[in-house]
Amino acid sequence: MLIIKLDAIDSTNDYLKALAKEKSLENFTTVIADKQLKGKGQMGSEWVSEAGKNLTMSVLVKSGFEINHTIFDINVAVALSIISVLDFLNIPKVSVKWPNDIMAENKKLGGILIENAIKSDGTVSSVIGIGLNSNQSDFLNLPKATSLFVETQQEFDKEMLMNKIVEKLQEYIQMLPTHSDNLWETYHNRLFKKGIPMPFELADDVKIMGIIQKVSREGMLELLLDDDSIQYFGVKDIKMLY
């Protein structure tokens, strides 16, 4: 596994994508940076991270999956890789909040950004960005954020975290073709607020109540609404109010 260590970069995802266009990279090539100047979150949002304190990394995954193999399977594998490592480290009450937030109880511990490219042979190559709040202790103006340090009062070695996450990611990606049902079951067991009535806000600012049932294989959130109907929502359609 090739590891590229950087002091500072605009975005580890952008750096890795550009590098992959320049030359052939081995599978699971990983970029890690002490500081991201323009870290990216979901839907173009900015990922803010204190320099030197947190894990900011990107991994190139050449899954070999064709486009008709559900791309959200990769999201499931990534989320479970991180959760598995956090369980090993005894971080309490870890879950995954749809679509790509890692939570410790009710606070955000980290996030995932997956950017997929379809190759000429029809297979998918993914650049997986992972931000994990590790040793940061202060989150001014971010009341819903937390870190491994805040949760445990211990500092963590970022390279150790990176190595363990990539190791688990390799394991789960290899399992997908034959054990995807098992991974999805585990994912749903760790889904944030699953089965609990929660308020949501739709894209047109309308607020609704719903109960998360599951995430579909296409990555849609399945909600049971007040009128007992089932509806599916995409990332841009809805957000949870918690």
Indicate if the pLDDT at residue 89 is higher than 80: yes
Indicate if the pLDDT at residue 38 is higher than 70: no
Helix axes 72-88, 158-189, angle to 10 degrees: 120
Predicted local confidence at residue 35, as pLDDT:
86
Give the separation between CA 119 and CA 23, rounded to whole angstroms. Answer: 14
The answer to whether residues 214 and 184 belong to one domain is: no
The answer to whether residues 85 and 203 belong to one domain is: no
If one compares 122 and 210, the residue with the highest pLDDT of the two is: 210
Predicted local confidence at residue 121, as pLDDT:
80
Q: Contact at 8 Å (CB) between 63 and 123?
A: yes
Is the backbone peptide bond immediately before 99 cis, with ω within 30 degrees of 0?
A: yes
* Number of folded domains that form the chain: 2
The answer to whether residues 71 and 27 belong to one domain is: yes
Q: Check: pTM over 0.85? Answer yes or no.
A: yes
Predicted local confidence at residue 41, as pLDDT:
53
Predicted local confidence at residue 205, as pLDDT:
93
Predicted local confidence at residue 36, as pLDDT:
80
Predicted local confidence at residue 23, as pLDDT:
93
The answer to whether residues 44 and 144 belong to one domain is: yes
Of 187, 237, 173, nearest to 215 by C-alpha is 187
Give the separation between CA 166 and CA 128, rounded to whole angstroms. Answer: 11
Q: Contact at 8 Å (CB) between 109 and 103?
A: yes
Stretch 46-56: mean pLDDT? 76
Domain that holds residue 126: 3-189
Give the separation between CA 233 and CA 202, rounded to whole angstroms. Answer: 9
pLDDT > 70 in the chain, percent: 93
pLDDT tens sequence across 107-161: 999 999 999 988 888 788 999 999 999 999 999 888 899 999 999 999 999 999 9
Stretch 16-41: mean pLDDT? 88
Give the CATH number, domain containing residue 95.
3.30.930.10
Indicate if the pLDDT at residue 97 is higher than 60: yes
The answer to whether residues 118 and 223 belong to one domain is: no
Q: What is the residue-wise DSSP string for 2-54?
A: -EEEEEEES-HHHHHHHHHHHS---TT-EEEEEEESS-B-GGG-B----TTTS
Question: Measuring CA to CA, how many Å separate 4 from each of 7, 51, 117, 199?
Answer: 10, 17, 21, 42
Mean pLDDT value across the chain? 92
Query: Which are the contacts of 25, defined by CB distance < 8 A and separation ≥ 6?
Result: 2, 19, 60
The answer to whether residues 123 and 217 belong to one domain is: no
Predicted local confidence at residue 221, as pLDDT:
98
The answer to whether residues 12 and 112 belong to one domain is: yes
The answer to whether residues 127 and 109 belong to one domain is: yes
The answer to whether residues 84 and 107 belong to one domain is: yes
Question: Measuring CA to CA, how many Å separate 168 from each of 18, 56, 67, 78, 145?
Answer: 25, 17, 23, 9, 25
Q: How confident is the model at residue 39 (pLDDT cuts 50, 70, 90)?
A: low
Indicate if the pLDDT at residue 43 is higher than 80: no
